Each structure stands twice: as C-alpha cells, then as structure tokens.
Amino acid sequence: MPKHITSGLKYLAAVRLRNQGLSQKKIAEKLDIDRSTVSHYLNGSNLSWNSIEFAKILTQLNNKDFLLVIQNLFHDLDKIRVIALIFKEKNYNGIVNDSCIGCGLCVDLCILEAISLNALTAQINSFYCCGCHTCEEACPTNSIKILEEKDDQKRERS
C-alpha cells in the first residue's frame, strides 16, 4: 500500500512540475524516477486512480501531518524535501529571538532539517521551512516564531 501512495504522490508532483514548465527529463531527475514512468504519468496511462485520489487527500492535510506522512513514506531526507517543496503552498520566515539557549531541540525535531545551531543560537533556513510549527511548539523558551509570508512578499522574492 505505501508504494501505491508514493506513486500517487509522485504522479501529482509530476503534474505540478509539468505545469511549472519542467521537461520530462527534469521531472524524472527531480522525482528520482525513470523517464518512461514520467511519460506514463503525464499521458495518464497505467495509473491507479484510487492511489491518486488518496494522495490528493494527503496533500490537503495540515503542514505538520503532511510532513509526518511523507517522512514515513520516503524516509530519505532529499526525497522528503523534494516532495515537501513541490507541495509547499506558502513561504515562511522563521525568527529566533535572543532567549534561545541553544538546546538543539528544534534542530532534532525539524523533519526537513531546516534548522541549525550557530554559536548556540538556532538559525532557520526559510527555503526549506514548510511551516509545520513543530519547532515553535516545542521550544522550551518560546524563542521561535514561524511567520507566513504574505503573497506580495512571495512575489517580490520570485
């Protein structure tokens, strides 16, 4: 069953990437699948529509649950990041204030490994952050704020 679900997610991811203008070769590289599979996906052949419908439901989960699901489906950090970023609907800014004590809990908890410690202070890589708020909720000193970027900020960056 998980294999079917990952295929369903990869199908949805391939369609998104195609809509962003990526070639079949680039889509295959990004999703780590062969080009003939991408071609099947995009031509709608040999597809398990039940798996695709199920995968669509997964993409509608909140950010935290979606990350937990893809962590369990894909295991490998690079693959998890690729899927998370393809389905990321918004950009986020992570702010860490001076009360950070450098305990590293947030670093350990971030599924996307978007947090590192620098001179005993957490630093958040907004590119990878998918807004699950796990770090914010777990920080013992309430030092993290994860802020959703407004659409106009997103446009300025792109």
Contact positions vs ligand SF4 (CB under 6 A): 94, 96, 100-106, 109-110, 112, 114-115, 122, 124, 129-135, 139-141, 143-144, 146
Residue whose entry in the numeric block shows the structure tokens 């070639």: 23
- Cβ 43 to ligand SF4 shortest distance, Å: 34
Angle formed by the axes of helices 35-43 and 2-19, nearest 10°: 80
Q: Which two tokens stand for residue 19?
A: 């809509």
- Our CB check for ligand SF4 shows the closer of 24 and 121 to be 121
- Cβ 34 to ligand SF4 shortest distance, Å: 30
Rounded CA separation 85/83 (Å): 5
Question: What single-letter amino acid sits at 66?
Answer: F
- Cβ 131 to ligand SF4 shortest distance, Å: 5
Count of CA atoms in the C-beta half-sphere (13 A) of 158: 9
- Cβ 77 to ligand SF4 shortest distance, Å: 12
- Our CB check for ligand SF4 shows the closer of 48 and 121 to be 121
* Cβ proximity of 10 and 80 under 8 Å: no
- Our CB check for ligand SF4 shows the closer of 31 and 132 to be 132
- Our CB check for ligand SF4 shows the closer of 53 and 137 to be 137
Beta strands in the chain (DSSP E): 92-96, 115-118, 121-124, 144-148
- Our CB check for ligand SF4 shows the closer of 82 and 139 to be 139
- Cβ 87 to ligand SF4 shortest distance, Å: 13
